[in-house]
Structure 1
Amino acid sequence: MIAGESILSLIPQKPPFVMVDELLFSDDNITKSSFKIPADNVLVINGEFSEAGLMENMAQTAAAGSGNMARIENRPVANGYIGQVKNFEIYSLPQIGDVLFTEVKMEVQVFDAGIVSGKIWCNGEVIAQCEMKIFINQ
């Protein structure tokens, strides 16, 4: 598990735009993270973590997995870009103080492009999911 300041070494984002707290698990195909929503988060609107926040949480979970693999392979952490979002479904918006558990699964990887599926759980229930096409800038 990687938390706090260490997670910042795995993702290109920096405060105040960090939407992951801990890397819970990461291998070649699956990455899991957690995130406790703070009241001062830039993507909190009227006490709720916004749709954009949920999408960014999934993208940063993918970035943390990629960054972790780069660290293991002694490579620099690369920037990634969301190229497409597909089938983005939101079932509920979490509140300030809620803890999100996010899983991102690599579905297809071709050169510097990958398709990932992501799901976010809060209080034991899936609250959002989507598929993203992510490009890595080497």
Structure 2
Amino acid sequence: MQEEITLPVRDITRFIPQQPPIVMVDELHKSDGVTTVTKFLIKADGLFVEENQLKEPGLIENIAQTAAAGMGYQFVKQEEPIPVGFIGAIKHLQIAQLPQVGDTITTQVTVLDTVLDITLIKGEIQLNNTIIASCEMKIVLKK
């Protein structure tokens, strides 16, 4: 019997393969198969936090985990096992600002195309309604 899942979901680790301390998303707010939206509170003890800022690798991982959360949510809804995904490529990476400890970022990932087990996504991270980072990623699913 299919489980009813209501958004937002605060136990996001059930949809992603990552576990603490590498979890870079806190809440899943939207997942419709094309667009996924997450939120993440930057904490002082975070893995990619240095000098009170979430550094560039943390932003990239946040986008990747937002994509994973959206895919994982869809697989759970379809009662299928969640596959592991890998970043295959990153293009057009732009980082305008690094968020500070205490900031909550909102990340939106949009699926641009899917061919076989490769999904091309566009990710944007916002802080206070301003885009602070964006990129395209190819994500490869291992089934």
CA distance in 2, matches of 1:90, 1:11: 24
Q: TM-score, normalised by structure 2?
A: 0.94
| Residue 106 (structure 1) shift | 0.3
SS in 1 for 2:102: coil
| Pairwise CA RMSD | 0.8
SS in 2 for 1:68: helix
CA distance in 2, matches of 1:9, 1:33: 14
SS in 2 for 1:59: helix
CA distance in 1, matches of 2:35, 2:45: 29
| Residue 83 (structure 1) shift | 0.5
| Residue 111 (structure 1) shift | 1.1
| Residue 78 (structure 1) shift | 1.0
Structure 1 residue 112 corresponds to structure 2 residue 117: yes
Aligned residue among 55, 62, 65 for 1:57: 62
Q: TM-score, normalised by structure 1?
A: 0.97
CA distance in 1, matches of 2:129, 2:96: 13
CA distance in 2, matches of 1:10, 1:133: 19
What is the percentage of aligned positions where both structures have the same residue?
A: 42
| Residue 124 (structure 1) shift | 1.6
Aligned residues: 137
SS in 1 for 2:46: coil
Structure 1 residue 3 corresponds to structure 2 residue 24: no
Structure 1 residue 36 corresponds to structure 2 residue 41: yes
| Residue 2 (structure 1) shift | 4.0
Match of 1:88 in 2: 93
Give unpaired runs (5+ residues) of structure 1: none
